[in-house]
Structures are given as structure tokens and as C-alpha cells.
Amino acid sequence: MADLRLSVLDQSPSVAGAPQDRAIRDTIEMAQHCEALGYERFWVSEHHGSQSIVGSAPEILVAAIAARTTRIRVGTAGVMLPHYAPLKVAEQFRVLEAIAPGRIDLGLGRAPGGDGRVSWALNPMGDDAVQRFPANVRDIIAWTSGKPLTEGHALASLRVTPETPGAPEVFVLGSSDYGAQVAAYLGIPYCFAAFISERGAEQAFEIYRRYYQPSERHPKPQPSVCAFALAAESEAQARHIFATRALSRINRDRGVRKSLLPAQEALDELRARGDEARAEQLADEAMIGDGAQVAQKLRDYASKLGVEDIAILTQAHDMCDRKASYTSIAEAFATVPLNAA
């Protein structure tokens, strides 16, 4: 796939032995690193009440990253919309568009990004907002692009500022058929969150393409996928570093969210708990290896799903390992411009 475009999702992971606030500064530094490597987009996530992922205000991170970069598109994957008033989200991203014209992505999700208590604290009426998700996405598209709301809308006369000549690119991030249906109905891009679960990706894309309703900005479907990948100098080294991710995944499945441990400590804990076999299975299924191996796995995966855009999430305790992974993958794609149109 000569035209495969690569992007990055950074979750601002908290790592053992370091203060949580460093994770935010690391995300900004990683964005600058990935821009220098030629990646297409740099997205940040939203999570609340977690000891492992501390990016709780993606709109602020996007502003900071946009101010420290010049070319790479910057955005969210995603803003968890049920927590917020659609108008406020639209205003925030109109401001971001003014800060970095033509470089802002607004990924919207329906998941809570935290537990029920946190969701209630953010928005006691969140359950109603979940039901209004499609309509709220529709309104945000209109408000961010300066287009009129639907006929008869109670807020049709409302003007959203600041006015901008361009508009953020709005897309839906999801890991189910529901998000695919919303994106198809509204005629916007859809990104499947395979880093959460790879199951259902092909079915979601089939639904998205089948029911897609062309829009002025997006006359054709624009499917993409966000997946975990990790590259190192050798496959053996990559599998060792992956122990951090394996422990994190196993803990997550058990409702435990802790700061990321160094690879050897993670491996020791997996062995002590009897989870080594499960960790090996996760490693076998993951896109890990040296740069060339991971690049081929990414190409094969994108070809299987029929997508031309893939965002990479890499988890590791050591920031140097994360940087090296993105560098190795970029170098493996060196014969193909990562920012090809």
C-alpha cells in the first residue's frame, strides 16, 4: 500500500517512578518528535480518574501541541461528547482552528473514558446526552463549519465565535457498529479503535461503507483505524518491551489501572501471577517486531481492512523506547512519504 498514511495516538501514560504531570509534557515532546519524522496526524485521548492514563483535558493539550508544531495535524481521539455541551466543544475547536488553521481534527466518542462515578461528576445528565449523541455530533459539525443548523432548530439563530475561514475535521472514533452508523449517516470520517478491541473492525467498516451518505466535505467514505504497534531493534527486544503493555492490558481487563511498570518488573509480575502465557498470547497477536516487520504488519492490516489511514498507539515505560519505535516505523516507510496525499 504505497499510499498508506501514518498517524499517532498518544494517551499521556503515567509511568512508575515519575510524577504524573511529566506525562503531559512527554506528550508534547512526542508530538514534536513525530512531526519531525513526517507523521500525518497526532491525536490525544481523554480519560478520567485513571492512574495509568492522565490526559484528562485533550482540548488543552491540542492547543499546546499546535503552538509547538508547524505542519502536523493535531486533534483528539477523542473528546467524550456525553460529558459536555456541544456548543462549548464547538467553541473550543473554533478557537483551536484559529490557533492552527487547517491543522485541527475533532474526534468525537460516546464512551465515558472513566467509571460511572466520574461520568456523573462530569455531567449528571450524561445518560440523556448519550442518547442525543448523533444529534449533538450533527450540531457540532454545523457550528464548527459555520453552516446552519437543521431547519426548525431552537438554536438556529445562535452565532458561534470566533469565525474562521476553515473548519476542524470532525470524525467519529468508536469500537462498535454504532459509531460507524453515526459517521455514515452524517457523512464524516470514521476511525475504528482497534487498540481497544480488534474484534468487529471489518463489520464496522462494512456498515460504514454500505450506509455512507456523501457530504459536501466528504463525498466518499473515509475509514481509518487506530491500532497498537511497537518496534524495536529486534523482535526479541520488542517482545521484552511489550511486557509493559501486556500487563497493562491484563490489568485493564480486570478493572485495574496502574502506572506503567518497566518491562522487566512487568515481566516479573506477570510470572508471579501466572499470567505469562496470556502475555505471550497477546505478544503473538500484536503488531510488534523490528521496524521492517512492524511496517509489513501495518501494511497487511490496512490492506485487510481496506483503509489508507492508520494511527499507531505505542505503550512503553521508557519514553526513549516509545520514540525509538516511532522512529523505526518511520524509517521502515522511508521509501513511501508518510504524509502523502
Cell readout for 164 is 474562521
pLDDT (average), residues 74-96: 96
Q: How many CA atoms lie within 13 A of 229 on its CB side?
A: 32
Cell readout for 51 is 492512574
Per-residue model confidence (pLDDT) at position 1? 34
Alpha-carbon span 82 to 90, nearest angstrom: 14
Question: Is the pTM value of this prediction over 0.85?
Answer: yes
pLDDT (average), residues 250-275: 95
Residue 113 pLDDT > 60: yes
CATH topology of domain 5-233+288-332: TIM Barrel (3.20.20)
Residue 336 pLDDT > 80: no
Place of cell 499517532: 8
What residue spans define the domains of the chain? 5-233+288-332
Per-residue model confidence (pLDDT) at position 129? 85
- Among 91-95, 131-135, 335-339, the minimum mean pLDDT is found in 335-339
Annotate 300-332 with b (16+ C-beta within 10 A) or e (fewer).
Answer: ebbeebebbbbbbbbbbbebebbbbbbbbbbeb
Mean per-residue pLDDT of the chain: 94
User: What share of residues in the chain are helix, strand, coil (percent, to 5)?
Assistant: 45, 15, 35
Give me the percent of the chain exceeding a pLDDT of 70: 97
Residue 211 pLDDT > 50: yes
Which residue from 225, 268, 226, 224 is spatially nearest to 246, judged by alpha carbons?
268
Residue 337 pLDDT > 90: no
Contact 307, 223 (CB under 8 A): yes
